[in-house]
Structure 1
Amino acid sequence: MNRLHPLSAVTYAVQYGFLWLWLPVFLVLVLSGVFDPVSPAWFPVAAPIGFLFGTLYGVVYYYRFGYAVTTDTVDVSSGVVARRSREIPYGRIQNVDIRQSVFQRLLELATVSIETAGGGTTEATLYFVSEEEANRLQREIRRRTAEAKGRRRERTRQRRQSADSATASDEPTEDAAVDADAERAGDDAPSPSVDDETGEREPPADPEQTFEPDSPTYSRKQRLFDLAPRELLLYSFTSFRPAAVAAVLFVFFLATESILEFFVAASQPFGGPADLDTGNTGSYGILTIVSAIISVLVTYLLSVAYTFATYYDFQLGRVGDDFVYERGLLQRYSGSIPAEKVQSVTVTDNPVQRLIEYAGLWVETAGYGPESNGGSQSAVPLAQQGRVYTFTENLTDVETPTFRSPPPVARRRYLVRYSLVAAAFVAVAFGVAYTTPLENWYFAAVVFLAVPLAAHLRYVHIAYYVGEDHIVIRSGFWRRRTTVVPYYRVQTVSVRRSIFQRRLGIASVVVDTASSRSFFWSSTTIYDIDLEDARAVQRTSRKRLQSSLRERAEADDIGISVDFT
């Protein structure tokens, strides 16, 4: 078993020291209320004792933590009192990610996370190893994982060939013997594989063979995309991160009085009140407007800085059948997107990006994803639309879609919906004017002017295409998403109708895949189409799902192409 970097002992010691520091303090606090001899004055003595025991526990935890890369599995052992030993087969490993904070990069340390298919959490995390060791582990585990998957695919071919030969003849064949040997040896037994570069069959892998981590077959990386400085700036200034809102709210709650004083001072040159206690309706209105403008501007600038730092020096490449990426300024990430786990591909853009003819490309994978969006991961943060569409076509082999739109009755539905929203806004304005000195609440009715435009924009950006091999769905105005879903990735296709949709004779079609869902990204949905069209889409999708599964089984295809040449 290998140990973590020695600095990990210091990290664990400090972490558990501060954690255990509060245990005796809590006990003293509880016991002092029950037993008179126990006094809160014992806090200065109890806290250092807890910190000392926590520090010792952290050091012992470091020495009891070990990892090893074996022929068939990645083994990780941990725990002081309750021991936990994990053997992670290479066939289940999905991602091997490397993270480095600013301080870790200065110390040449890294955190290695091993993700498995179908898991919602990290299977194993190594805090911390040297940067050189992290890169070695990533290369070696990726290579062994590729070999395990290659052997599995080759055994599948052999089983199919054996079955075909057995049907043609009752005599035993060489393929049948090989298949029987492979079955007896188990899933991780060595078997002939096919070289991805030459297409020639290689000899069986020796389970006792010592693999070289720097073997050209597994370390060769083909670069697919680099985010140029101009594209990084465009992406930073034309996108928005919800985390910026949370950061602004957090700072506001920490320093509410200071921020309010700043808002008052900033509004005074424009006619704002001298302080919060004195002022009239007009000055308070100016204060509200100035405060809102400053808040929006600060939030936007934080979003720009966050996006810039997150996607700085973004690089996308491929190694074997996996996409690999690197990004980050303050915290550096290095991870992978297994091609065989890709469920759907989504082109995203917002009004500003559409105006300058740029777009982004995201992929959704089954199981855990290292991004904040669960299984959604950015493959191309931002590039010219033509380049993104070419990437999408090369990635999915999707045909050029001929989109269909919902019926005109859907537009009327959106008109009614947004009219109700506008009416609710006016009602709120009336309530505020009724309970406060504010007047002229009826000016809020100006929002009704935006209702027809909002309904039209909602309607024209909904479209769908039912192709031979893919279903393509587009929706959204502020964040438009055009999602390409191969039929073989479809889990369920359901037709849903609300009370209002039943009255209008329309329905929505929900296409679910095995990808993770997030708070911001929901299931891919075709909204408000004719009921008969919705049922036709459902029937066609189910039929083509079965045919595509049969075709892939015959071709033994991993699904997503990674050839961008």
Structure 2
Amino acid sequence: MNEISDAPTEVTAQDGERLHISGLFVGFVSGLPQLLFPVLAAVFGARKSDNPALIPIMIAAVLAISLFFRWLAWRRFRYHVGDDDIRVEKGVLSRTARSIPYDRIQDVSIEQKLLARMMGLSEVKFETGGGDGDDATLRFVTLEEANRLRALIRARKAGEVVAQDVPHMAEPEDAETIFAMDDQRVFILGIYSFSLVIFAVLGGLAQQFDFLLPFEFWDFKRWAGLAEESGVSVNTLNGVGITGHLILAFGALISLIFIGFATGIVRTFLREHGFRLTQTTKGFRRQRGLFTLTDVVMPTHRVQAAVVQTGPIRKRRGWHSLKFVSLAQDSKEESNYVAAPLATLDELWRISQAAGIAAPDGDERLRKGAALHWVIQWFLFVPPLLIAVGALVIFAHAPLAPTLLPMLLLIIVALLLWLDWRRYRFGLDDQQLYLRRGWWRQRLTLAPQVKVQSIEIAQGPLARRYGLASLKFGVAGGTLEMVALPLSTAQAIRAAVMEKVAAVDYSAINQPH
């Protein structure tokens, strides 16, 4: 990717296109929360002048300055669609020009937030898998222009000679919906997505805006005083008895559970509403979202591995999720392309097969890791806990009872490691690698051997002492690690996989067909 700073020449209308003018309004309204602190600062400054008329003037001035700089940035922003690349030029005082060759673009995603969708606008994001986020984002263009750009880039990458005015990207005739979720399934997914993130959000807001309160937010004595002023005294609460306290605690727990389920359901509906996965001859197209509509296309050749996830509760109901590890490792959200958030195994394997990754033929190919590996992990916890116990007894003069806590912790760690060992499996067949791990968040990773870019055998001091090793397979967009292997087994697997990889022209693996 070429990047040129401080370009000396002015970009003319013939050199590129401007973003849609309506995007100024969308960006301004979307950026209003960022102006909260400047507005509050202006209000407090105006209040000190003892002239109330200055308050609306200061607010209007802050909004006008923000709008002016947005207009200036919009006027200086251009994008140019060339024969070999897309060039984006921007900057007011310091001009930058970024050129993105078509063959480097791994993904073109289209996103429409609620206000942008109401205005018929969308964001276009270009990703190259370079590790630094989106290489360019066009905010905002019309939906027709966004689809035109994506169709043009797809055609150029496929080697087709097309004109600049390539038409709107309609749904291809060979498109087939291979997975979709109705509202009932989205609701079920929301139930499984229990979340207490709302408390983190409220805590963060309280931390940021506690200066607006007449007292310290975390001053519980002040809250108790307010409760007494409302007629609820501390003595009243103390007089309800043990039964009353249990009832109050139970009610608080039920409220917490309800809020967690409600938050999970709302977040899931906002993200997954209208989920639809379509397959064409060139790849997958995923559309989802209630307020923010995202439309992402992933060519089949970009799929590097598949990850099937479930949990003990979901698994009893037959529910799993499927993610594809892709080349776009620069985006944390899209590097793991969610192909099916909640589906049955039959539905998952149908999608996986379409991506060139076959379903495993049972567990007979999967082997357990050496139990000694987990025993070693457990013993690594012993020295620091013994030191903590000694410090607690010597320096804190603590009774014997608190020293039982580290022992309990050791038992819990041993239980967790045992559950992890019990679920862990690794294996390979003629075409694919398999890794199953996790007792609560159960994951099965499947990776074609020809997609492996590197293989590393790692041995720590204790592992080397007992002849154990770990195998780390490098694939674009992630890693796959097998642990607790005998050294001879690790070497045999590495030799078998390298033989498969060496027989293939790797430069052609990740190219569109």
Whether TM exceeds 0.5 here: the answer is yes
**Partner SS state of residue 57, structure 1:** helix
Paired amino acid for 1:7: S
Q: Residues 424 and 295 from structure 1, CA distance in 2 versus in 1: closer, same or farther, beyond 3 angstroms?
A: farther
Partner of residue 213, structure 1:
168
Partner of residue 230, structure 2:
none
Paired amino acid for 2:419: L
1:225 Cα deviation after fit: 0.9
Are the counterparts in 1 of residues 150 and 169 from structure 2 also a CA contact under 8 Å?
no
Partner of residue 304, structure 2:
343
Inter-partner Cα distance in structure 1 for 2:82 and 2:419:
57
Inter-partner Cα distance in structure 2 for 1:143 and 1:247:
39
1:448 Cα deviation after fit: 6.5
1:493 Cα deviation after fit: 1.4
Partner of residue 545, structure 1:
501
Which of 409, 413, 419 is the matching residue for 1:457?
419
1:384 Cα deviation after fit: 0.9
Paired amino acid for 1:525: E
Partner of residue 247, structure 1:
201
Partner of residue 328, structure 2:
367
1:316 Cα deviation after fit: 0.9
1:274 Cα deviation after fit: 3.5
Partner of residue 99, structure 1:
111
Q: Residues 220 and 458 from structure 1, CA distance in 2 versus in 1: closer, same or farther, beyond 3 angstroms?
A: same
Inter-partner Cα distance in structure 1 for 2:336 and 2:303:
10
Partner of residue 194, structure 1:
none
Are the counterparts in 2 of residues 395 and 560 from structure 1 also a CA contact under 8 Å?
no
Partner of residue 498, structure 1:
460
Inter-partner Cα distance in structure 2 for 1:244 and 1:225:
31
Partner of residue 393, structure 1:
353
Inter-partner Cα distance in structure 2 for 1:371 and 1:278:
50
Paired amino acid for 1:237: I
Q: Percent identity?
A: 19
Paired amino acid for 1:536: A
Inter-partner Cα distance in structure 2 for 1:11 and 1:435:
63
Which of 159, 182, 190 is the matching residue for 1:228?
182
Is 1:534 aligned with 2:490? yes
Inter-partner Cα distance in structure 1 for 2:268 and 2:28:
34
Partner of residue 57, structure 1:
69
Inter-partner Cα distance in structure 2 for 1:227 and 1:486:
28
Paired amino acid for 2:20: H
Partner of residue 372, structure 2:
409
Inter-partner Cα distance in structure 1 for 2:189 and 2:386:
35
Are the counterparts in 1 of residues 196 and 263 from structure 2 also a CA contact under 8 Å?
no
Partner of residue 142, structure 1:
150
**Partner SS state of residue 313, structure 2:** helix
Is 1:510 aligned with 2:472? yes
Partner of residue 160, structure 1:
none
Are the counterparts in 1 of residues 113 and 293 from structure 2 also a CA contact under 8 Å?
yes
Partner of residue 33, structure 1:
none
**Partner SS state of residue 223, structure 1:** strand
Paired amino acid for 1:379: A
Q: Residues 84 and 446 from structure 1, CA distance in 2 versus in 1: closer, same or farther, beyond 3 angstroms?
A: closer
1:395 Cα deviation after fit: 2.2
1:503 Cα deviation after fit: 3.9
Inter-partner Cα distance in structure 1 for 2:222 and 2:347:
46
Partner of residue 213, structure 2:
none
User: Once structures 1 and 2 are overlaid, which stretch shifts more, 437-446 or 531-540?
Assistant: 437-446
Which of 433, 438, 450 is the matching residue for 1:488?
450
1:245 Cα deviation after fit: 6.8
Deviations 1:248-294 (A, max 9, x none): 642564678489699999xxxxxxx9489989xx99x9799987776
Is 1:79 aligned with 2:91? yes
Are the counterparts in 2 of residues 317 and 323 from structure 1 also a CA contact under 8 Å?
yes
Deviations 1:50-95 (A, max 9, x none): 7655543322322333335455443433223333344433322222
**Partner SS state of residue 396, structure 1:** coil
Which of 416, 426, 430 is the matching residue for 1:468?
430
**Partner SS state of residue 213, structure 1:** coil
Q: Residues 413 and 17 from structure 1, CA distance in 2 versus in 1: closer, same or farther, beyond 3 angstroms?
A: closer
Paired amino acid for 2:369: P
Partner of residue 156, structure 1:
none
**Partner SS state of residue 493, structure 2:** helix
Counterparts of 1:305-384 in structure 2, within 5 Å, are: 305-368=266-329, 370=331, 372=333, 375-384=335-344
Which of 191, 201, 211 is the matching residue for 1:237?
191
Inter-partner Cα distance in structure 1 for 2:324 and 2:169:
29
Paired amino acid for 2:120: E
1:486 Cα deviation after fit: 1.6
Inter-partner Cα distance in structure 2 for 1:252 and 1:12:
26
1:109 Cα deviation after fit: 3.1
**Partner SS state of residue 158, structure 2:** helix
Inter-partner Cα distance in structure 1 for 2:461 and 2:447:
28
Paired amino acid for 2:185: E
Inter-partner Cα distance in structure 1 for 2:472 and 2:449:
13
Inter-partner Cα distance in structure 2 for 1:485 and 1:148:
29
Are the counterparts in 2 of residues 221 and 319 from structure 1 also a CA contact under 8 Å?
yes
1:335 Cα deviation after fit: 1.4
Are the counterparts in 1 of residues 305 and 448 from structure 2 also a CA contact under 8 Å?
yes
Q: Which runs of 5+ in 2 are unaligned?
A: 1-15, 211-215, 226-232
Aligned CA-pair RMSD: 4.8
Inter-partner Cα distance in structure 2 for 1:5 and 1:304:
35
Inter-partner Cα distance in structure 1 for 2:119 and 2:164:
34
Inter-partner Cα distance in structure 1 for 2:207 and 2:386:
29
Paired amino acid for 1:405: K
Inter-partner Cα distance in structure 2 for 1:407 and 1:292:
42
Inter-partner Cα distance in structure 2 for 1:226 and 1:251:
36
Are the counterparts in 2 of residues 98 and 112 from structure 1 also a CA contact under 8 Å?
yes
Which of 120, 134, 146 is the matching residue for 2:132?
120
**Partner SS state of residue 304, structure 2:** strand
Q: Residues 13 and 382 from structure 1, CA distance in 2 versus in 1: closer, same or farther, beyond 3 angstroms?
A: closer
**Partner SS state of residue 362, structure 1:** strand
**Partner SS state of residue 68, structure 2:** helix
**Partner SS state of residue 367, structure 2:** coil
Paired amino acid for 1:531: L
1:505 Cα deviation after fit: 2.8
Paired amino acid for 2:447: V
TM-score, scaled relative to structure 2: 0.73
Paired amino acid for 2:480: T
